[in-house]
A and B are shown apart, each in its own frame.
Chain A
Amino acid sequence: MALAKVYVNYKKSILNPEAEAVHKALKRLGYDNVEDVKLGKYFELTVADGKSKDELDKEINEICDKLLANYNMENYHYEIEETEAAQ
């Protein structure tokens, strides 16, 4: 089995009012050294065996483009980890 960890976040040009609210709350708590907050999405996809590394890479890329991220306002990156087969 493999585990794909997908990180989706807003592009720089996109306003992120939720992250701004979190940033303001941190300031109120006294964490003045926090200069910026990003708030995005994180997915873990557990994938069955049967595809080569390249095929899996292609598939995860396709999944991100099609559904997990909106290229108009979001960027993504991912890591694929080999995990032990389920017993």
Chain B
Amino acid sequence: MKFAVLAFPGSNCEMDLYNAIKDIIKEDVELVSYKKNTLEGFDAVLIPGGFSYGDYLRSGAIARFSPIIPDLQEFAKSGKPVLGICNGFQILTEAGLLPGSLQKNVSAKFICKTEPLVVNNNHSMFSSEYQEGQMINLPIAHGDGNYYCDQDTLRELIANDQIVFKYDSNPNGSIDNIAGIINKQGNVLGMMPHPERAVEAVLGSDDGKGVFQSIVNHIKSRGVIYE
């Protein structure tokens, strides 16, 4: 199977993602420029962290109008996995592929440290490698990671089991300790923590591997493999 890693001006985690897929998960992966307008031949799309367009206006607000985005929206609609990490999550909310938005951290500080997370839903295509309630350690690195949505949206997220990861001790003020959510359809995940920075012991934790392995298992079990 083949992963696409999108790259926008100001992305800075695309090579971490690329290496995680190539060296650790051992699947095909290709960097795809924000200027391209096709995602044909890919089985899953990863949107990296960073500061696309310098976070000007709002995080993700300008990247959201890149040439690749209409194809990303089509790709998501087709039910194939889309994972946005950190700035990738912010781009997905701005593009209307996930509800809510990411505000400034309550502390008004950029937070860069390893955080314990709880796997809140282990039957998504991104989390099946974990146990429900399992504690995992993943690095966070963000200034705008405080997830916000209105009460109606939150009720819907809970009712549809869309909250995949929660912080154990809320570092940024996110509503309901939310660290990662999926869309209603279940094929688009946005998360602030960085699983690609925790894929081997030498990095301090390999707890992030499960996210990518879950995607691979999902696609292979469905038999949607393009050679």
- A interface list, Cβ under 8 A from B: 13-18, 20-21, 41, 67-68, 70, 72-73
Contacts and interface: CB of A to CB of B under 8 A. Distances in A.
Nearest to B100: A72
A73 B105 CA distance: 14
Interface string B146-185: 1011100000000000000000000001000000000000
Contact of B108 (A18, A67, A72): A18
B108 A14 contact: no
Contacts of A73: 101, 103, 148
B107 A70 contact: no
A18 B104 contact: yes
Contacts of A20: 108
Interface of B: 57-58, 61, 65, 93-94, 100-101, 103-108, 146, 148-150, 173
Nearest to A17: B108
> Main SS of the interface on chain B?
loop
B148 A14 contact: yes
Nearest to B93: A72
A81 to B, nearest CB: 23
B103 A15 contact: yes
25 contacts: A14-B103, A14-B148, A15-B106, A15-B146, A15-B173, A16-B104, A17-B104, A17-B105, A17-B108, A18-B108, A20-B108, A21-B108, A67-B57, A67-B61, A67-B65, A68-B57, A70-B58, A70-B94, A70-B101, A72-B93, A72-B100, A72-B101, A72-B148, A72-B149, A73-B148
Nearest to B146: A15
Given A14-B148, A70-B61, A72-B150, 8 more contacts: A13-B150, A15-B106, A15-B173, A17-B106, A18-B108, A70-B94, A72-B149, A73-B148
